[in-house]
């Protein structure tokens, strides 16, 4: 059995606090670890499908180009390098590294304007904060930009969402998911996060606790 390391995108699942002070790990964390353990035992990976992920993947390149233009970043390209240490693994979306700036970019593509965090002044999802700390720990970078974009939804996904809704014309329906006509100021939202050594240590400590729980599962199975 390989040693447990947490993907940065999943750190939030192990950082939830248990309801009881006598417990080390929360039910959410235990469920995640049991799922991870099954993936190792059965050599199968649980696949997750959603329209939100589909859109994010489909418009990723377009989003990076949009971000580069709006933030005046030259040569912004998707990062393909994966990182790991003794506790974490991960592949940041992009890394800006020039003479003036050095920071990580993580892109979140909102499904529509109603899920876009226009009025938020702090990171909308705590999971993304933990993800940021993980990526900064892996890359030894101290600054991170979580960037939400609101891009046009691809036609294929719009048609899937429409699914023959005869109460509305397809063209009218599709217009609800197109945003290129909107002022770009309302289509990008940037949240800055900075490296926190104390929280990184908390992540590492929690990974150690997770490994102990996994060992207890495997003992019961004689694995």
| Tally of CB atoms within 10 A around 185 | 9
Helix ranges restricted to H, 140-196: 155-162, 170-175
pTM beyond 0.85: yes
Domain map of the chain by residue range?
49-221
Express each pLDDT in 100-127 by its tens digit. 889 999 999 999 999 999 999 999 999 9
Express each pLDDT in 137-154 by its tens digit. 999 999 999 999 999 999
Express each pLDDT in 21-65 by its tens digit. 888 999 999 999 999 999 998 989 888 888 999 999 999 999 999
Q: How far is the C-alpha of 47 from the C-alpha of 44, rounded, in Å?
A: 9
Pairwise pLDDT comparison (44 vs 169), residue with the higher score: 44
Express each pLDDT in 181-190 by its tens digit. 999 999 999 9
Q: How far is the C-alpha of 2 from the C-alpha of 8, rounded, in Å?
A: 18
Residue 158, SS3 per DSSP: helix
Q: What's the topology of domain 49-221?
A: Lambda Exonuclease; Chain A (3.90.320)
């Amino acid at each position: 059995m390989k040693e447990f390391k947490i993907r940065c995108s999943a750190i939030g699942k192990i950082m939830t606090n248990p309801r009881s002070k006598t417990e080390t790990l929360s039910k959410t964390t235990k469920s995640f670890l049991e799922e991870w353990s099954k993936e190792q035992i059965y050599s199968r990976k649980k696949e997750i499908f959603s329209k939100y992920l589909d859109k994010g993947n489909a418009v990723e390149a377009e989003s990076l180009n949009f971000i580069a233009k709006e933030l005046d970043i030259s040569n912004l390209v998707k990062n393909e390098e994966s990182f790991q240490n003794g506790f974490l693994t991960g592949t940041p979306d992009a890394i800006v590294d020039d003479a003036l700036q050095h920071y990580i970019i993580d892109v979140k593509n909102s499904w529509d304007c109603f899920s876009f965090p226009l009025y938020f002044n702090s990171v909308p999802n705590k999971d993304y904060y933990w993800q940021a700390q993980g990526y900064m720990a892996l890359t030894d970078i101290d600054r991170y930009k979580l960037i939400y974009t609101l891009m046009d939804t691809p036609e294929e996904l719009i048609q899937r969402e429409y699914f023959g809704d005869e109460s509305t014309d397809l063209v009218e329906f599709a217009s609800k998911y197109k945003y290129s006509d909107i002022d770009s100021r309302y289509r990008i939202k940037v949240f800055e996060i900075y490296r926190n050594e104390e929280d990184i240590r908390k992540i590492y400590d929690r990974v150690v606790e997770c490994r102990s729980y996994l060992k207890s599962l495997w003992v019961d199975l004689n694995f």
